[in-house]
Structure 1
Amino acid sequence: MKIKSLLLLGGVGLLWLNNSQAANILSNKTTLKIIHYKPALADDITIKGKITDKSGPIPGATISLKSNLGVGTSTDGEGNFVIKVPADGILIVKSVGYKTQEISVQGKTIFNITLIEENNNLSDVVVVGYSTKKQGELSSSVSIISAEKLKGVASNDVISMIQGKAPGVVVSSASGDPTAAPKINIRGISSINGGTAPLLVVDGNILGAYGSEGATYSPNDVESITILKDAAATGLYGSRAGSGVIIVTTKTGKAGESKIEFNSVVGFNSPSTGKFKLMNSQQLYDYQKTFSNPNSSVLNNDTNWWDLATRDGMTQNYTVSASGGTEKTRYYVAGNFYREQGTVISNDKNAYNLRTNLSSQLTKKLKLSLLLNGVFTRDNYANSNSLGDGYLNLPFDPAYNVDGTPVDPRITPSWLGRDVENFLHSTQYNLSYARSLNLSADVNLDYNIVKNLTFSSYNRTTFYNTFSVDYYDKRTKEGGATNGSLYNSTTYKNRLLSSNRLKYENSFGENHLTVLAVGEAEKSYYDEANLNGKNLPAGRPVMSTATDIISNPSGGTNEYNFSKYLSQVDYNYAGKYFAIASFVHENSSRFGINKSGGDFYQMGASWILSNEQFLKGIKPISFLKLRASYGTTGNAEIGDYPSLGLYSIDTGASYGGLPGASPSQKGNPNLTWEKQKTANIGFDIGFWNRIDLSVDLYDKRSNALLFFVPLPSTEGYKGYFDNVGALKNRGLEFNLTTKNFTGAFKWETNLNMAFNRNTILKLTNDKDAINPGGSQPSAVGRDIFDWKMPIWAGVDPNNGDPLWEKVITDADGVQHIAVTNTYAQATRQYTGTSATPKFTGGFTNTFSYKGISLSTFFNFVYGNEVYNDSRAYFDNDGLYESYNAMVLKSGWNRWEKIGDVATHPKPVLGGNHDSNQQSTRYLEDGSYIRLRNITLGYQIPDSWLSKIKISSARVFVSGDNLWTGTKFSGIDPEVDLTSGVSSFRYPLNKKVLFGVNIGL
């Protein structure tokens, strides 16, 4: 090392000498006194390197010079970096979630640095917007669900699998039917007439609102799910992200040895009836004797229609995948078959999926990715009468003739049931199914124009086709009136999307800056055709065999387009201070010609306090970050032509044999985007690298709500769409993860909960409610789903009559509550309850020890009221004596004599004073906690597998929906939370599954 010394010669002069000069002077025994020395800067050298962890490259890691923090850079997407520093310098390497390292250069020019994780969650790289970031660097509210966390629950729909896994994300289903998709809401209902499903993004490209088209991926191919909730997170999708964004990232190959994996799951489904039971013949006979005079001969039959309508089914799920590649080319190829038999007869789902993900670094600057996916599905639907008949048919009626064939009630004089329907008879002839094919192809290019500047072009095309059949054979009740009928429907959808992105990313010392500009365009085509015919020969469900039509063919074609321009600036300093801001302008053909464009903006900031010196000494706190964001997002899910004046085909308006049309929708050239303004504050804190807590508070206000305004018939139109009204959602979310044991025996716990309240702030034309006469009026100042109906006051102990509350206003204007046994006099009142839960959440425990693993997952909903609509049919106090009845729940009783305090009125043939009319009698607590999944697995030791040349193998057994705790009297308390109504519920499926995962 060169040293320049400051010497005092003879006590007079000052000289700067190098080492050799000083040595010569000293060798001549010159008297010198050394006062000071100063190191000379070593020659700068260019070094290259790669920063990784145990899983692979670490993008965005910062490398700076310890002696001059202004000299620095960051790693690219592959973890590579280049920097020019002195040959004797010391490098500081930092990345959120990893331990900081100091590396001495010592003249070396190539470095491969492996960072050690300090907090696994913080170092996870997640997809956010049009780029990736480490979880610890986010300034927004985001939930990440890995493929590992999706395991356990058996489903062919990812949305079903995330139920209870993320705070503020509510998944609900009104049916256990495997062909039925669940509903999902993020942070409450943000629209009244507009769509409330989140935007779905798959592998970086917009797919559309969830449920808008068939599945385009298999859950087995999913690498991770990222759920964006606040404005800063949804920013770049802000124009259509008012209800949140779900980003699905599918699996890719990794450089290195090729892997072949086989996964198999086989199990059995059984229908769950909860606390609900229907009467057998003896019970029903004894019950009917209290209000009628049934003939004892009815006891000759005891048919369990529920057991005949339901069954034990089988679930099968098989996946074979191959992945691998080199540093330049990587691949992932997978095929999947999924079959689930519904627990209602003749109902099942069959899905076949093939995916190929390829990526290749064609040159040093150009990368190509090709993603191909195909899904073929066949859904067989249950007979439309199976479920209803299973609930309502009388056990007195026989299901089969003496010869074993199903009874045809139409020719059975002794049939007593009201609906004269035996679904077993019609099921053997009728058909109802749909088949669909969904193909998608992504071609993505990433080109490094110059250092730190990248251009990317992401392009997708999708083709979606469905064909459905409903056939009613002439031998059945449903097909008898038309001498056999057939309904065919065909749909075709094609979407084209091109997203072109320019990104600049650079580091200036400890300053890291990313600037993004995007231009995006989307075009969609949709066609539909519907045909029907009648007079078909028995057993010939083909339209060419029909000799007449039921109604004229129908159909149509739709188109829409979106175009978007956006910019974003993302900045962080020293891994401590983060800020992000974006602006989006989007146009849509769905809105009026005067206001088709919408402007949206988002901003967020965060501060990692744990990286500050004043917190370094507080050892219990391993991580602490504060976050805040604010911005606007939008909603365009209101149909394709809401702003145009529309006509409907009207057969009554035909003239001279030519079709006619009548006005249906009035045009509105000023119709524009529905907007949400969201503010979010939150913090993330970790203790001892074992306890992680995230908390978020938000306020989301929806303005310019898209709403169909009805018009009086004198206007000549049914109505028009306009921007009217406003509502707000406020809530609190938290997610807590604790690592209780971390040794050979591991135990991890996760609890997430969300509290949300919504309020309607304003409606069009100063209206008080959207539906004033409905059971959920959606009134100003109230929850959208507040219940309003006559309030049940119990049973009159003197005579067994039903009672309801009646509000009486006296001469002074003071209101008093009286009771009445006349339903027409009962007062419709707000019940003080809502279909909206007070809170929702999930609770997971994971245990592992020497290859043995056990996980339990509960999800829960609390504080919502469910209207059990089906009780009006089988809990009706004698009104429908030709329907079966339910066995009263424990604690319920019927009035029998004067003085009885009963929950149920006296049964009376023909009904007791309209006791089964809508009232809070059938409004029940819908709260529940459910053991959603429990899985016990064993990882077979490698030493056992090496002999048969298998790299890994795991066997497991799991159970879904094995236990539910609830007060609800019906089959299942889980309902579509956007309606809160339970009616002839398809039973929940309990599943016991056995699986094996093998890696070669």
Structure 2
Amino acid sequence: LLCNLLFSLGLYAQVQVSGKVTDASGATLPGVSVVVKETTIGTVTNSNGIFTIPNVPSATSTLVFSFIGYATQETVVGNRKNIDIRLAAADNQLSEVVVIGYGTAKKSTLTGAVSQVDSKIISVQANSTVTRALEGVVPGIQVASIDGQPGLDMGIRLRGAGSTSQNSSNALIVIDGVPTEYPNALASINPKDIESISVLKDAASTAVYGSRGANGVVLVTTKRGSRGKLNISVEARTGFNYLGGLRFDLIDNAKDIYEHAWLSIYNSARYGVNGGSSTDGKFTTNVANPNMSHEAAGLFASAHLFDYTGSKTNFAQNQLGNYMAYEVPGAVYTTTGSGANASATMSGAYLIDPATGKLNPNARQLWEAGSYKDYFFEKMFRQEHAISASGGSDKMDYFVSVGMLEDPSYIRGSTFKRYNARTNVNAQLTSWLKVGTNLGYSMRNTQSPATRFGRNPGTVQQNVFRWVNGQNQLVPLFARDLQGNIRKNPNGTDMVSDNANDTYSPLGVQPGSFPNGTTSQPLYATNLIDLLDKD
């Protein structure tokens, strides 16, 4: 029994292996990875090419030597304690063929500045345009977009900005040897139909295209058939496009908005210098010597929640815009101000409790604040389907594909659809005659919410983000009546709140307007839904 135990321990004992790694000329190679195969045990060679692994599991273990630019080599440890390895240079990369402006060339003989993108990198991404797949893949390339509209190409720059016009600085796009003369060329191609993309950066590679290639050239080569039996490929992708979590942390809850407004009025009334809302050019406030007591300031803030504008004697509509999203039982509204600036002082009962600065628990909410983001930022279904067939013989090869893409944006009114078909057929009729056809069809349908004002609407009324982030969050998207219900247009559709006084308010009631008061105009006097849906 003792002999068997000693034999077992000896069989599984770890061994230490050292050695030296050199190249074909005998020069040492530092940084070579030496790993025990199928384990995490390993090390790297030092500056002298020497390595030591003290815990090789057994004599039957295999060491794997790998280094960039050299062929990977494996060897079984056996009874050896010292293993010297000579790595051979890998020549497979130098034999690759790349497409250049005037044909093809091997990397081993290529002297120009050319970068190539493999089709696997392009097809694995879910993009509506190939230009987005180039971002971060090709060294030295700059890819930029004015907006995130699906189906529109991004600008490609290889040599910086050579003109004040963005389009004049973009690289030339060449598809199967034909320079494109129309915009969004890469958004019209199904990425699954692309074999490779070569980016030509230097003058030698782009000389054949003259001045059109002054900003560099992007060569796109589509797929062709290969010798062999019929190969059919079917691919389907589905998913959702929606706004991510990184966004402005807006106060879009009506309760929070009113309570913060009350607190600002309270601080201004009690601690403001000279009784005003500012510090009057000073860097201190009356914290040490308040203008009024806590109780008086709380009552003042509750009474003048909607009509305090910095003065304790002259009252008018403030930035809350008279939008009362709650019904307060027992409240009395005394009109202050006049015209479009009319508002009201509350008494009897208050929306915000004067003692606590919190929402009156008896108040009944009529509508939700912050309704714009829920309506204009949507979760949209995305789908992409492609089917292809390829094959060939000694005399003929073929590639046929069809595809469709529906890629709607998460912004209402922004959509993109594309339908593709492609046929590449080549035949060797005789020893001196070869014929072929390369046909491509693409139908695009793009709806952009910014076309009326250009690709970059800035702060104009068609910028959805301007509405969502810059709008008074109390303004409801749809106009509300006395009970908080959505008002209807004469044709029965929901009425969009696109003008002043569209939504009922008990504040700022004036002669002839009873019972409806005065509310401020939304961000713009515009029906945003119509702008986005009918643009």
Give the shorter-chain TM-score range. Answer: 0.5 to 0.7
Higher helix share: 2
1:194-233 pair list within 5 angstroms? 195-208=168-181, 211=183, 215-233=187-205
| Structure 1 residues 298 and 403, CA gap change in structure 2 (3 angstroms) | closer
Q: Which residue of 1 aligns with 2:54?
A: none
Q: CA deviation at 1:380?
A: 2.1
CA distance in 2, matches of 1:235, 1:297: 66
1:180 and 2:180 correspond: no
2:403 to 336, 341, 352: 336
Please give the secondary structure, in 2, of the residue aligned with 1:121: coil
Please give the secondary structure, in 1, of the residue aligned with 2:249: coil
Q: Which residue of 2 aligns with 1:355?
A: 422
| Structure 1 residues 298 and 182, CA gap change in structure 2 (3 angstroms) | farther
CA distance in 1, matches of 2:372, 2:469: 7
CA distance in 2, matches of 1:216, 1:307: 32
1:235 to 207, 228, 232: 207
Q: Which residue of 2 aligns with 1:369?
A: 436
CA distance in 2, matches of 1:214, 1:137: 30
Q: CA deviation at 1:396?
A: 1.1
Please give the secondary structure, in 1, of the residue aligned with 2:398: strand
2:519 aligned partner, one-letter code = S
**Structure 2: gaps spanning 5 or more residues:** 1-68, 72-87, 269-276, 278-307, 310-317, 327-367, 451-461, 488-493, 503-517
Query: Quick check: 2:237–2:384 contact (8 Å CA) kept in 1?
Result: yes
1:325-474 pair list within 5 angstroms? 325-382=392-449, 384=462, 386-400=464-478, 401=480, 402-403=485-486, 405-410=494-499, 412=502, 414-424=519-529, 426=530, 430-432=533-535
Name the count of aligned residue pairs: 317
Please give the secondary structure, in 1, of the residue aligned with 2:94: helix
| Structure 1 residues 157 and 390, CA gap change in structure 2 (3 angstroms) | same
Q: CA deviation at 1:140?
A: 0.9
Query: Quick check: 2:153–2:185 contact (8 Å CA) kept in 1?
Result: no
Higher strand share: 1
2:475 aligned partner, one-letter code = D
| Structure 1 residues 314 and 257, CA gap change in structure 2 (3 angstroms) | same
Query: Quick check: 1:216–1:373 contact (8 Å CA) kept in 2?
Result: no
| Structure 1 residues 276 and 119, CA gap change in structure 2 (3 angstroms) | farther
1:673-822 pair list within 5 angstroms? none
| Structure 1 residues 213 and 158, CA gap change in structure 2 (3 angstroms) | closer
CA distance in 2, matches of 1:275, 1:387: 11
Query: Quick check: 1:385–1:423 contact (8 Å CA) kept in 2?
Result: no
Q: Which residue of 2 aligns with 1:309?
A: 376
Please give the secondary structure, in 1, of the residue aligned with 2:121: helix
Q: CA deviation at 1:268?
A: 1.1
1:262 and 2:234 correspond: yes
Q: CA deviation at 1:156?
A: 2.1
Please give the secondary structure, in 1, of the residue aligned with 2:120: helix
Q: CA deviation at 1:299?
A: 4.9
> Can you list the C-alpha shifts for 1:675-712, whole angstroms capped at 9, x where unaligned?
xxxxxxxxxxxxxxxxxxxxxxxxxxxxxxxxxxxxxx
1:348 aligned partner, one-letter code = T
Please give the secondary structure, in 1, of the residue aligned with 2:168: coil
Q: CA deviation at 1:242?
A: 1.1
2:141 aligned partner, one-letter code = V
Query: Quick check: 1:389–1:421 contact (8 Å CA) kept in 2?
Result: no
Normalization by structure 2: what TM-score? 0.54
1:513-532 pair list within 5 angstroms? none
Query: Quick check: 2:498–2:521 contact (8 Å CA) kept in 1?
Result: no
| Structure 1 residues 374 and 117, CA gap change in structure 2 (3 angstroms) | farther
CA distance in 2, matches of 1:422, 1:284: 25
Please give the secondary structure, in 2, of the residue aligned with 1:123: coil
Please give the secondary structure, in 2, of the residue aligned with 1:122: coil
CA distance in 2, matches of 1:257, 1:98: 35
> Can you list the C-alpha shifts for 1:148-197, whole angstroms capped at 9, x where unaligned?
12133211211111100011111122322214331221131123357011
Q: CA deviation at 1:129?
A: 1.3
> Can you list the C-alpha shifts for 1:893-931, whole angstroms capped at 9, x where unaligned?
xxxxxxxxxxxxxxxxxxxxxxxxxxxxxxxxxxxxxxx
Q: CA deviation at 1:367?
A: 1.4
CA distance in 2, matches of 1:375, 1:157: 13
2:177 aligned partner, one-letter code = G
| Structure 1 residues 216 and 349, CA gap change in structure 2 (3 angstroms) | closer
2:104 to 132, 143, 150: 132
CA distance in 2, matches of 1:374, 1:310: 33
1:249 to 221, 224, 228: 221
1:319 aligned partner, one-letter code = A
Q: CA deviation at 1:124?
A: 1.9
Q: CA deviation at 1:390?
A: 2.3
1:235 aligned partner, one-letter code = A
CA distance in 1, matches of 2:202, 2:101: 12
CA distance in 1, matches of 2:184, 2:378: 31
> Can you list the C-alpha shifts for 1:104-126, whole angstroms capped at 9, x where unaligned?
xxxxxxxxxxxx99444322211
> Can you list the C-alpha shifts for 1:297-338, whole angstroms capped at 9, x where unaligned?
645351232232211112211000001111211111000100
| Structure 1 residues 182 and 273, CA gap change in structure 2 (3 angstroms) | farther
1:312 aligned partner, one-letter code = K
> Can you list the C-alpha shifts for 1:523-557, whole angstroms capped at 9, x where unaligned?
xxxxxxxxxxxxxxxxxxxxxxxxxxxxxxxxxxx
2:124 to 134, 138, 152: 152
1:423 aligned partner, one-letter code = L
Please, what is the CA RMSD of the aligned residues? 2.9
Normalization by structure 1: what TM-score? 0.30
CA distance in 1, matches of 2:370, 2:241: 23
CA distance in 1, matches of 2:374, 2:108: 53
> Can you list the C-alpha shifts for 1:123-155, whole angstroms capped at 9, x where unaligned?
221111121112232101111001012133211
Q: CA deviation at 1:230?
A: 1.0
Query: Quick check: 1:190–1:242 contact (8 Å CA) kept in 2?
Result: no
CA distance in 1, matches of 2:497, 2:464: 14
Query: Quick check: 2:118–2:195 contact (8 Å CA) kept in 1?
Result: yes
Please give the secondary structure, in 2, of the residue aligned with 1:148: helix
CA distance in 1, matches of 2:433, 2:384: 38
Query: Quick check: 1:196–1:243 contact (8 Å CA) kept in 2?
Result: yes
1:398 aligned partner, one-letter code = P
CA distance in 2, matches of 1:254, 1:213: 26
Query: Quick check: 1:268–1:315 contact (8 Å CA) kept in 2?
Result: yes
Query: Quick check: 2:102–2:205 contact (8 Å CA) kept in 1?
Result: no
